[in-house]
């Protein structure tokens, strides 16, 4: 059992309900398992994704990406909730303490059907630097000096 809680997950297999990859099925055509589970959509892998699920597949540092490029793989960021205990740290109350000071980042480039991504743990200082950079990047000035 993982001690991590997923905070962000962009996965090429997780399509939004409005995506063309999901097709609503008439109740008469639904399989008994679907009816039992209350599901009324089936996967339609023959359709092109219209929701932009998952990261754009990286094709090289010399290639300018496009939103039209194929997507695949996944990206996730996970944390350890504060109530998780460890022998050298006393138990923390779920509502009273922040999460443990590490962020797990997982990346799968989507080049195969196997999930053989890479994982890294960032500490609070690294996450703070990443947070600052992302703010500048979103503001359109990734090289801005920070105070
Ligand atoms: Zn989709």
Residues 3 and 37 in one domain: no
Distance from residue 22's CA to the centre of ligand 1 (Å): 8
Distance from residue 85's CA to the centre of ligand 1 (Å): 38
Residues 108 and 38 in one domain: no
Residues 32 and 46 in one domain: yes
Residues 70 and 95 in one domain: yes
Distance from residue 73's CA to the centre of ligand 1 (Å): 13
- Phi, psi for residue 28 in degrees, rounded to 5: -65, -25
| Pairwise CA distance, residues 35 & 27, whole Å | 8
Residues surrounding ion ligand 1 at CB below 5 Å: 15, 19, 21, 49, 51, 53
- In tens, the pLDDT along 119-134 reads 999 999 999 999 999 9
Residues 104 and 83 in one domain: yes
**Statement: the pTM of the whole predicted model exceeds 0.85:** no
Choice between 27 and 15, residue whose per-residue pLDDT is larger:
15
Q: Where are the beta strands (DSSP E) in 22-136?
A: 22-24, 41-43, 74-79, 102-108, 118-123
Distance from residue 141's CA to the centre of ligand 1 (Å): 30
Distance from residue 52's CA to the centre of ligand 1 (Å): 5
- In tens, the pLDDT along 70-96 reads 888 999 999 998 888 766 666 555 556
Domain hosting residue 41, numbered range: 17-50
Cβ-based neighbour number of residue 142 at 10 Å: 11
As for how many domains the chain has, the answer is 2
């Amino acid at each position: 059992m993982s001690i991590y809680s997923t905070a962000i997950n962009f996965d090429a297999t997780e399509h939004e309900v409005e995506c063309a990859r999901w097709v609503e099925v008439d109740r008469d055509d639904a399989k008994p398992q679907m009816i039992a589970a209350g599901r009324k959509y089936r996967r339609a892998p023959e359709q092109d994704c219209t929701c932009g699920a998952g990261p754009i597949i990286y094709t090289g540092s010399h290639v300018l990406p496009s939103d039209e490029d194929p997507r695949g793989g996944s990206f996730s960021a996970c944390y350890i909730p504060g109530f998780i205990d460890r022998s050298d740290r006393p138990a923390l109350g779920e509502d009273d303490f922040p999460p443990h000071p590490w962020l797990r980042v997982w990346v799968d480039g989507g080049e195969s059907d196997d999930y053989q991504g890479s994982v890294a743990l960032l500490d609070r200082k690294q996450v703070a630097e990443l947070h600052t950079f992302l703010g500048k990047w979103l503001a359109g000035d990734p090289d801005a000096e920070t105070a």
